Structures are given as structure tokens and as C-alpha cells.
Amino acid sequence: MTTLPPRPHTTPADIAARLERLPNSRWQGKILTLLGIVTFFEGFDQLLVAYTMPLIRQEWNLGAFELTLAVTSGSVGMLLGALCCGVLADRLGRKRIIIASLLLTALASLLLMVSPNFAVFTALRFVQGFGIGGEVPVAAAFVSELSRAKGRGRFVLLYELAFPAGLAAAAVVSTVVVPAFGWRALYLIGALPALMAVPILKYVPESPRWLATRGDLERAEREMRWIERSVESASGRPLPEPDVTGSGSNESLGRFRELVGPAFRRRTAIVSTLWFCGYFINYGLTSWLPTIYTSIYGVPVDTALRYTLYTSLAGFGGCVVIMLLIDRIGRRASLVGGLGLGSLLLVVLALIGAETGVTVALWATLSAVFIFAVNICLYLYTAELYPTRMRALGISLGGAWNRIGVILGPVVVGWLVGVGATPPVVFAVFGAVGLTAALVALLGEETTGKRLEDISA
């Protein structure tokens, strides 16, 4: 292993420059894999309620209100988890909060397996949601801080693919496990990420960018040298000299009021709108689709789960495509195009009548290709818009609007169904929300190919 010479000084600019010159290697792949496994199971756990609702409705004789509460309790937990853990991650560090959040999620999932009644189930869904809401945005901030400007979109989205992969896996596993073992077995599987706590503690460093920004330069140097030695060993060649340019002075701790202050108010308004609208559509539809298929169209449970599986797989395919294209076509084109096309497909579904379950499955699946792709881009885009001192908080605020959309989407669908609205009305509402978001995305700034320090300078 190469012994790197000591640095004459360590500053935030020095740390940023040293991260920017790192080549891609097996070391980055190992970090993405470890964090990706955790995020995969966070996605898996988030959507399990959609596949268990038809069965818990029968087991506990639940009505529309209780079903909506089962969905939204987890979403409220995610909202609070995002806000609380974003603040804590900017104060205590990314790594600690990631580990604490994954352990909380796993414990709640294990207890959900043995829920004796609906009240306990709902409370545990809230706790599980708190853990999911805390881990996902903080991990996204951490991965962004390890990346370099060139190819950052593909690097970050390669990690972010783990979440929609977890959503798709929940659909796949549910179609196999639920008919054979019942809904409780799903939550036992959802507890598996607890096994990742030790490897993350051992092999994943704290973010040197965050440490340097906080003024802990000695630890930032130590973690940076660990990364450099690991990358040199993995790549088998010496590292180039860093180019120390751009912004990088010590920063004070970011606060919430700065997110809505003059410097970042416009960015915050745009990304908050995109987060809300994107997940309002996504979760409003996917969380209710199995129930809509069974209750409105009379589709058997196993067929309804299979339809939803097709939608989730198509959405994951859209995420893969945008991961490959985003550094070429840019962030703004990805957001505008995805929201516009996905929403137009829902409008078409409304106009043709949504008369059968097969029709709904087809058009909802096509729309998911674009909507899922947009939502995965938002973690990347939001992380790029804010400086290191408040990056986790910025993504977590976006995650909070995400959860507001996640809460209101199912509530709106439940309300529309409850007052007798036809499926075309439901799809028209979601199409209108998405088209509005596409217009807002046009106002966003382009961040492709720029260093994080330069974007937030």
C-alpha cells in the first residue's frame, strides 16, 4: 500500500480538491454497495403497507379511514424523521445518523411482524417511517459529498437506484410471500438491514467535506487520508495533485432560516414544489393501486399485486435510463421532461375512461417510467443546490415536502373514492398536479458538471 506524504495544511478547499481528483475505483463501489443495501431495504419497507393493506383490511375489518391511516402514519413518521435527522446530521455527522436510522427501521419492522392489532400496527408504522425518513436523505447528502463534479449524476443515481429497486423488490417478494406465508412474513424480511450496521461502522468513513466545514480539520485530514490510501490501493496507481480552486472557506453551521433566506429562497421554493408534486403523484397512485384494482375493478388479490409489480418494475427501468442519461441531458431537462410526459400519460388515461383494470395497469405503468425517474433525480438535484453546512438539512426539507405529498396523495385518493369520484377523475387530478410541477421545473437552475462548492458559492 502506498504511503501518502503529509499535507502541509488542511482546509475545506483542500479537502474538496482532493475529493475531486479521486478516480473511480473498487473502493467507491464498496461504499455505494454498503449504503445501497441499506437504502434498498428502506425502499422495500416503505411500500410494504401497499401490499399488506388488502389482507389487513380483511383480518381486522378495516374501513377506508383506517386504511388511509395505515398509509399516512408511516408517511408522517418519514416527514418528522427527515426534518429531525437532517438537523442532527448537520450537527453530529452523516454516518451516525445513517446507522441510528437503519437500526430504528429494522427494529420497527421486526415488531410489525407481531402486531396484535391495528392500533399497534399504526404506531409501529410511524416509528418505521421515522427511520426511513431519516436515513434516505442523509445518505443521499453523504454520497453527494463523496462524489466529484464530473459524472456526479451517474455516480449518485447509481446509489439512488437502490431505493426504487427496493420498491420493485417489495412488489416481487409480495407476490410470492403473501400468498404462501401471509403478510407478516414481509416485515420479517424488512428487518434484515440491521445486519449492515457493523460493516458500515467499520468500512464507511465520515464525510471529510462535512468535517472540514465544521472546522474539525484534524479528523477531516484523517478520514481523507484513509480514503486516499483506499483509492490508491484499489486503483493501483498514484493520485494526481489536487487543484485547489473555488470556494472552500470555513462555514458556520447552517440553519433552517437560511434555507428560506434571500440566498436560497428561490431554490428552496422550486425543489419543495417538485418534491411535493412528484411524490403526491407517485405514492398517491402506487399505495392505492392494489386496493383500487380489487375494490373498483374486482381484480383478484394475486392479480392486483402482479399489476402493481409491473408498474414498479417499469418505474425502476425509468430510473436506470435516467441514471445513464442525466449527465448528458442535464438536470432541468430530466425533471421537466419526466414530469411532463408522465403527467400527460395520466391525462390520457383519464380521457379514455380508465374502464378496466388492464387499462389502468397499462397507462399507470407507462407513467411510472417517467415519474419514478423524476423522483430519483430530486435527491441528486437538491444535494447539489445547498452548501455542505446545510446539505443534509436541505435534502431533509425536500424529504419533508416529499412526505407531505406522500401523506396527501393517498388521502386525496381515499377522499375522492369515498365521495364517489370515478377513476378518470382521480387520474386527471394527478395529471394536473404533474403538469404544474413541470412548469415549475423550467425555472430551476442547471447544475450539471459543476463542483458542489461552486454551485453554492
The structural domains of the chain, with segments of one domain joined by +, span 12-237+253-455
pTM: 0.79
pLDDT tens for the chain, residues 1 to 457: 444 444 556 788 888 888 888 888 899 999 999 999 999 988 888 878 877 887 888 889 888 788 778 877 888 898 899 888 888 998 899 999 999 999 999 999 999 999 999 999 999 999 999 999 889 889 988 998 888 888 888 888 988 888 888 877 887 888 888 888 888 999 999 899 899 999 999 999 999 999 998 888 899 999 999 999 999 988 888 887 776 655 444 454 556 777 878 888 899 999 999 999 998 998 777 777 877 888 888 888 788 878 888 888 898 899 999 999 999 999 999 999 999 999 999 999 999 988 888 999 999 999 999 999 999 899 899 989 988 888 888 888 887 888 788 778 877 887 887 787 788 888 999 999 999 999 999 999 999 888 887 877 5
Burial 239-266, CB ≥16 within 10 A → b, else e: beebeeebbbeebeebeeebbeeeebee
Residue showing cell 401497499: 50
Distance in angstroms (rounded) separating the CA atoms of residues 359 and 353: 9
* C-beta atoms surrounding 184 within 10 Å: 17
Which option is the CATH number for 12-237+253-455: 1.10.357.10, 3.40.50.720, 1.20.1250.20, 3.90.1150.10?
1.20.1250.20
Residue showing cell 434571500: 262
